[in-house]
Chains A and B, each alone.
Chain A
Amino acid sequence: AQTVTQSQPEMSVQEAETVTLSCTYDTSESDYYLFWYKQPPSRQMILVIRQEAYKQQNATENRFSVNFQKAAKSFSLKISDSQLGDAAMYFCAYIGGSQGNLIFGKGTKLSVKP
C-alpha cells in the first residue's frame, strides 16, 4: 500500500528566511502525482504545488519549489523568503495514476517568526 511520511510535526522559520519541509512516500507505481497542500487556520485546503512523477524537472511556483528525488521517493518543499502568511499546516499528498484517492501525510505545522 502507498504511504506518505512527514517526519517533522513542527517547523519554525524566521521571516524572510528559507525553510524546507520533508516528505517521503512509498509506492510501487510508476505513474503518480505528488502535491503539497497548505491548510491555514481557516482550514481551507490550498494547493501549493504539484509534481508529476514522469517529469524530471522540479516544480516551482513563485517562492515555493520542490526537490523531487524519484529514486529516493522523496518530495521536499522549499519555501523561500518566508512570509507571516505562510504560517499553516502543510500536507504532502500522493495519488497514483491508477486510483483516485489522495493519500496524505500527517502534516507539518509551520510557524513564521517576525
Chain B
Amino acid sequence: GAVVSQHPSRVICKSGTSVKIECRSLDFQATTMFWYRQFPKQSLMLMATSNEGSKATYEQGVEKDKFLINHASLTLSTLTVTSAHPEDSSFYICSASAGSYEQYFGPGTRLTVT
C-alpha cells in the first residue's frame, strides 16, 4: 500500500516551453502533497506544499509564477514549470500524506531543459 507515482520519469524540453509533471497517490487519498527539488549530490529541497482544493504554499525563494502547482483532487497534484530554462534542469520529487506525519515518495522526474 501507499504507492505514489510520478509521470513522466524523464522529460527533455526546449528552453522557453512549459512542462507538466504529475504526481498521483494510487491507493490512498492524499490530503497534502509536497514537491521537492534535488540537485546532484545534494539533499531534497522543499519547494511547496499543497492541500487538496487550496492554493499551494511556497517556500521562500521559490517563484510561484514559475512553478505552478495544482492539487485538484485527493489523488493528483501537478507541477508545471513555465518558461523553462536550463537552470531549471533538476530532479523533482513529490510526496503525499494522508494526514499523518508519514510521507510517501514518488520515484521522481528528471527534467532536462535544452
Name A's B-contacting residues (CB within 8 A): 33, 42-45, 50, 91, 95, 97, 100-102, 104-107, 109
- Taking chain B's interface residues, is the majority helix, strand, or loop, or is none over half, making it mixed? strand
Nearest-Cβ distance from residue A25 to partner chain B, whole angstroms = 14
- Contact flags B42-58 to A (C-beta < 8 A → 1, else 0): 11101001000000000
Contact A101-B107, Cβ < 8 Å, known A33-B101, A106-B43: no
Bound complex: CA of A42 vs CA of B9, how far in Å? 11
Note all chain A residues with C-beta closer than 8 A to B91. 43
Give the number of residues in B that approach A within 8 Å (Cβ atoms). Answer: 19
Note all chain A residues with C-beta closer than 8 A to B103. 95, 102
Bound complex: CA of A109 vs CA of B40, how far in Å? 12
Contact A100-B97, Cβ < 8 Å, known A44-B105, A44-B107: yes
- Cross-chain pairs A/B with CB under 8 angstroms, 24 sampled: A33-B101, A43-B38, A43-B93, A43-B107, A43-B108, A45-B44, A45-B93, A45-B105, A50-B102, A91-B43, A95-B101, A95-B103, A97-B101, A100-B32, A100-B97, A102-B34, A102-B44, A102-B46, A102-B103, A104-B43, A104-B44, A106-B42, A107-B42, A107-B43
- Taking chain A's interface residues, is the majority helix, strand, or loop, or is none over half, making it mixed? loop
Note all chain A residues with C-beta closer than 8 A to B101. 33, 95, 97, 100
Name the residue in A50, A91, A107 with the highest tally of chain B Cβ atoms < 10 Å from its Cβ: A107
Whether A101 lies near B34 (C-beta < 8 A) is yes
Whether A101 lies near B105 (C-beta < 8 A) is no
